[in-house]
Chains A and B, each alone.
Chain A
């Protein structure tokens, strides 16, 4: 049987699908077909769909690790939306996807998500972490420079600017921090010594921690950044970053040497950053493609083929070198079209595996035998809660003057400035944007976080506003519709029959009790691990 046909069959057997088809047929309250697997898994066979899978499953087979099952459609629509656009699907989006009978609906969804504006918002958030976009202490970009820089990053992602161009523009930028947003790359480095800049460039674009390199190698790379000038203007907090031809290296300064050991030849009137950028983005440069391929993989699959993704060094080998080589080649042949890589990974069976492991083999996670559980990032989590409850967050900033007020309808993933924050974002591990390290974002659960979601006035006030979706258009007082509405809005799936039975008991038509029950159900679903985690 062809894989496509198998998977079609699998979707029909998907319990969330069954439940919805059956509902659509309007067959009342007859018992649903019994689900043999959890609502999180599909019964389809796990078959390779693209070259990634051959490499991942081949290695799993050699190691004797059975992969997880395929994830259910309900899990997929939620996972794909969270991973690609940092946004929970609405109840309507989830329902539409679940009811869609197109066998290619998963890849169609992937294509749609990659074109959404939120793609730019979400990945600009990620890049702003790495590029340390914040207006104040200790990265003093200043508010209007932050807005300009963030918009530049976001626009580039929305337009799918080729990644080599993105990197080159950042590295060779010159001009005013307000008018040429990309010069803020240099202003967001703590310290202006060439070595500090070289370390930041190595971390960002080579995934390497240059502070651990041999001294000479770092000095050789630093030389490319030794002729930068900075000057202020008559405008408050404006700063020009420029190539300073007056800073001619003398005999004592270390010569510019590429990190691979090749000495660079730079005419005295040329900006050495241009020479470095040309070397860096050359398709033959192994560092450049490897870093971004590995990062994109880790962003979507929770860990790098080389892990940590920003600690690439010879003694930290990839767990599956073939996968990296494949992604690197694909990226070069696609002329650095990052969405090509996203699409390839997202369409793989490997990405679409369930998070429920097929075995407890200790090497399973590092070899991608299942999709890893990851708690939602702070911004994504609060946006999801706001979307479900129809509420907003208020962000303001009293310093530096003038005060900044963020419009109420702006989502947290689209906050430009790392200095504008809230106690929720702080509590749930939003990074301070001090170091540019991936690990600065902390998504581990804490008791204080649990207290906040379980019992804070902040969340309780939002929950009080929860309404069953008005678009349901069903008779009032039908608890089933309300329950399904909440399940679709919060968990992006229909409730199972067992869940319906549990919940229905607490719903009585009419009266305040019913309202309270609705709030309590929303509370319980928002406090479930199924909601707080990508799975």
Chain B
């Protein structure tokens, strides 16, 4: 990231902060704000920026982007990256084998043979813990590094990274800096106190379909000719816009429209056209929603998007657990293994963090009794996460769970440890200040004084 650009962005920001939230004591006319905000903004859209004074990222950054693979619902750690074949049938069920990887001494679950060949590229954190078994709260903790309660709702990692590495840091692309494939998590408000401007752009649609219909960008059944005719009609008819064309609100409105059409009809939206990729590579990722989402994430990162989340559904396996993971883990294996290999082949892995995690793990002891009949419940006491790229070393295991995968045996890692480590590699000072719409003093990650449990940053693999 060009530090010069970052500081320019910062110097423009105060005016827009006042415009966005009216925080300033002195009244500033909207006209004046827009003048200050837009002059020299070179295509940046005032209203799409967070509108808060963002400190420049001063630390050297090794990572430029993050691909977050959100294992929505909580994946079993025993069946993925922390197998316990010795624990017996009550713990392993039918998945009682661990397989060797291309790194001596690292074993993973038997349904992940392709990831076994990429183990040199990632590290497994086996002592993740927070102790919470409720989806909502655990999702918040794992993705915000904070405990719930208190007066603030903190933003997610994606909102923070796109704040520090997005428009205010010189992100010039029309593609928004924080993309979610394909749907939002919903109840967990990703933006927290940063407000709706920090929310991700959710693509909608399904990249696994023959045409990825990104909601708003790719319309089905409307020809480019009709698009142009419509736009012309709109311009001829908009009475309010014509009489008030200088109104700052409408200036911003018009700019949004221009950018929207650059995405709809221009080249910028082509990033979502997966048919530009070779067929055999698409096959290697797997022609599934998840597989093609991984490919999509690579294309976005390649074009400078700093944060992409893949919300990967279907891991809340209370019932039919083993049937479900037998179906889903091979799909995950294919998508994630190919993503790591592809990023590496293109030299992108050095600057791209891949973060695989759910909100918690799953009950190590199989619930054979009805109504579960062989299911696994929620397990926040210990679970696994995977980190690759962007300065994280591969081929390592950090920490361990006990013999049955029920508690941390060695080196607990709390969400704030993992998140602070990612920030450090991204050049975002974890101890620095985060802008706040009410001007409150807020740290990027919590400190020990906040009463948050900590095990320290992941220096072992940085």
Q: Do A and B come from one complex?
A: yes
Q: How far is the CA of A499 from the CA of B239 in the complex (A)?
A: 9
Q: How far is the CA of A191 from the CA of B222 in the complex (A)?
A: 51
Q: Is A524 a contact of B234 with CB atoms below 8 Å?
A: yes
Q: State the interface size on chain A (CB cutoff 8 A).
A: 74
Q: Is A365 a contact of B233 with CB atoms below 8 Å?
A: no
For B149, the chain A residues whose CB sits under 8 A away are: 138, 190-191
Q: Select from chain B the residue with minimum beta-carbon distance to A37.
A: B243
Q: Is B256 a contact of A373 with CB atoms below 8 Å?
A: no
Q: What is the minimal beta-carbon distance from A276 to any residue of chain B, in angstroms?
A: 21
Q: How far is the CA of A202 from the CA of B240 in the complex (A)?
A: 40
B202 part of interface (Cβ distance < 8 Å)? yes
Question: Could you mark each residue 21-50 of chain B with 1 if its beta carbon is under 8 Å from any beta carbon of chain A, else 0?
Answer: 110010101111000000000000101100
B136 part of interface (Cβ distance < 8 Å)? yes
Q: What is the minimal beta-carbon distance from B452 to any residue of chain A, in angstroms?
A: 16
For B263, the chain A residues whose CB sits under 8 A away are: 447, 451
B460 part of interface (Cβ distance < 8 Å)? no
A502 part of interface (Cβ distance < 8 Å)? yes
Looking at B149, B187, B188, B241, the one whose CB has the most chain A CB atoms below 10 A away is: B187
For A136, the chain B residues whose CB sits under 8 A away are: 136, 187
Residue in A191, A356, A516 whose CB lies within 8 Å of B151: A191
Q: Is B222 a contact of A137 with CB atoms below 8 Å?
A: no
Q: Select from chain B the residue with minimum beta-carbon distance to A458.
A: B215
For A196, the chain B residues whose CB sits under 8 A away are: 151
Question: Would you list 24 pairs from A and B whose C-beta atoms are within 8 A, ordered by A residue?
Answer: A138-B149, A316-B25, A356-B244, A366-B29, A399-B136, A399-B187, A421-B186, A423-B184, A432-B153, A439-B22, A440-B195, A442-B196, A445-B47, A447-B174, A447-B260, A448-B176, A451-B264, A454-B260, A499-B237, A520-B226, A524-B233, A524-B237, A528-B240, A529-B238
Give residues 415-437 of A contacting B (CB, 8 Å): 419, 421, 423, 426-427, 429-430, 432, 434-435, 437
- Count A/B pairs, Cβ under 8 Å: 194
For B20, the chain A residues whose CB sits under 8 A away are: 444
Q: Select from chain A the residue with minimum beta-carbon distance to B213.
A: A457
Question: Could you mark each residue 446-480 of chain A with 1 if its beta carbon is under 8 Å from any beta carbon of chain B, else 0?
Answer: 11111110111110100000000000000000000
Q: Is B153 a contact of A448 with CB atoms below 8 Å?
A: no
- Segment at the A interface, from B247-255, B319-327, B347-355, B443-451: B247-255
B135 part of interface (Cβ distance < 8 Å)? yes
Question: Could you mark each residue 348-386 of chain A with 1 if its beta carbon is under 8 Å from any beta carbon of chain B, else 0?
Answer: 000000011000101101100000010100000000000
Q: How far is the CA of A456 from the CA of B227 in the complex (A)?
A: 12
Q: Is A457 a contact of B220 with CB atoms below 8 Å?
A: yes
For A360, the chain B residues whose CB sits under 8 A away are: 31, 246
Residue in A40, A199, A307, A430 whose CB lies within 8 Å of B240: A40
- Given known pairs A137-B137, A362-B32, A373-B244, the reply for A529 and B250 (CB within 8 Å) is yes
Give residues 9-53 of A contacting B (CB, 8 Å): 38-40
Residue in A190, A363, A447, A503 whose CB lies within 8 Å of B259: A447
Looking at A363, A450, A525, the one whose CB has the most chain B CB atoms below 10 A away is: A450
For B222, the chain A residues whose CB sits under 8 A away are: 455, 460
Q: How far is the CA of A535 from the CA of B238 in the complex (A)?
A: 13
Q: Select from chain A the residue with minimum beta-carbon distance to B238.
A: A528
Q: How far is the CA of A30 from the CA of B30 in the complex (A)?
A: 43
A410 part of interface (Cβ distance < 8 Å)? no
- Across chains A and B, which 10 residue pairs bring their CB atoms closest together, nearest first? A451-B216, A530-B240, A362-B29, A450-B260, A528-B238, A450-B256, A447-B259, A524-B234, A442-B196, A429-B196
Q: What is the minimal beta-carbon distance from A30 to any residue of chain B, in angstroms?
A: 23
A180 part of interface (Cβ distance < 8 Å)? no
Q: Select from chain A the residue with minimum beta-carbon distance to B201.
A: A448
Q: How far is the CA of A315 from the CA of B27 in the complex (A)?
A: 12
Q: Which residues of A contact B (CB under 8 A)?
A: 38-40, 136-138, 190-191, 196, 199, 209, 211, 307-308, 315-316, 319, 355-356, 360, 362-363, 365-366, 373, 375, 399, 419, 421, 423, 426-427, 429-430, 432, 434-435, 437, 439-440, 442, 444-452, 454-458, 460, 496, 499, 502-503, 506, 516, 520-521, 523-525, 527-530, 532-533, 535
Q: Select from chain A the residue with minimum beta-carbon distance to B235.
A: A524
B81 part of interface (Cβ distance < 8 Å)? no
Known contacts A211-B440, A447-B260, A457-B220; 6 further A-B pairs (Cβ under 8 A): A362-B29, A432-B189, A446-B256, A449-B256, A450-B259, A524-B230
Residue in A308, A435, A451, A532 whose CB lies within 8 Å of B260: A451
For A365, the chain B residues whose CB sits under 8 A away are: 29-30
For B230, the chain A residues whose CB sits under 8 A away are: 520, 523-524
Q: Is A533 a contact of B249 with CB atoms below 8 Å?
A: yes
For A308, the chain B residues whose CB sits under 8 A away are: 22
Q: Is B233 a contact of A460 with CB atoms below 8 Å?
A: no
- Given known pairs A191-B150, A528-B240, the reply for A426 and B184 (CB within 8 Å) is yes
For A457, the chain B residues whose CB sits under 8 A away are: 204, 213, 215, 219-220
For B246, the chain A residues whose CB sits under 8 A away are: 360
Q: Is A451 a contact of B217 with CB atoms below 8 Å?
A: yes
For B153, the chain A residues whose CB sits under 8 A away are: 138, 432, 434
For B140, the chain A residues whose CB sits under 8 A away are: 137
For A445, the chain B residues whose CB sits under 8 A away are: 47, 249, 252-253, 256
Q: Is B233 a contact of A454 with CB atoms below 8 Å?
A: no
B456 part of interface (Cβ distance < 8 Å)? no
Q: How far is the CA of A455 from the CA of B224 in the complex (A)?
A: 12
Q: What is the minimal beta-carbon distance from B281 to any residue of chain A, in angstroms?
A: 28
B257 part of interface (Cβ distance < 8 Å)? yes
For B121, the chain A residues whose CB sits under 8 A away are: none
Q: Is B29 a contact of A434 with CB atoms below 8 Å?
A: no
For A529, the chain B residues whose CB sits under 8 A away are: 238, 240-241, 244, 250, 253
For A138, the chain B residues whose CB sits under 8 A away are: 148-149, 153
